[in-house]
Amino acid sequence: MTQIFGATSTTDDVLSGVSLKGRRVLVTGVSAGLGVETARALVAHGAHVVGAARDLAKAGRATEQVRAAAEQGGGAFELTALDLADLASVRACADRLNAQGTPFDLVIANAGVMATPFGHTKDGFETQFGTNHLGHFVLVNRIAGLMRDGARLVNVSSAGHRFADVDLDDPNFEHTPYEPFVAYGRSKTANILFAVAFDARHRARGVRATAVHPGGIMTELARHMAPGEIEAMVSRINEQAAAEGQKPFQFKSIPQGAATSVWAGAVAGADAVGGRYCENCRVSDVVPDDQPISLVNAGVRAYALDPARAEALWTKSEDMVGERFA
In Å, how far are 41, 184, 217, 218 from 251, measured between CA atoms? 20, 19, 5, 7
What is the DSSP track for 31-70? TSHHHHHHHHHHHHTT-EEEEEES-HHHHHHHTHHHHHHH
How many CB atoms neighbour CB 19 within 10 A? 12
Return phi, psi of residue 24, to 5°: -115, 130
Residue environment code for 196-214, b if the CB has 16+ CB neighbours within 10 A, otherwise e: bbbbbbbeeeebbbbbbbb
Q: Of the residues 178, 184, 277, 303, which is catalytic?
A: 184
Rounded-to-integer distance, Cα 296 and Cα 190, Å: 22
- For residue 277, indicate whether it is catalytic: no
**Which residues have a Cβ under 8 Å from the Cβ of 52 and sit 6 or more positions away?**
26, 27, 28, 29, 30, 79, 80, 81, 82, 93, 111
Active site positions, annotated: 184
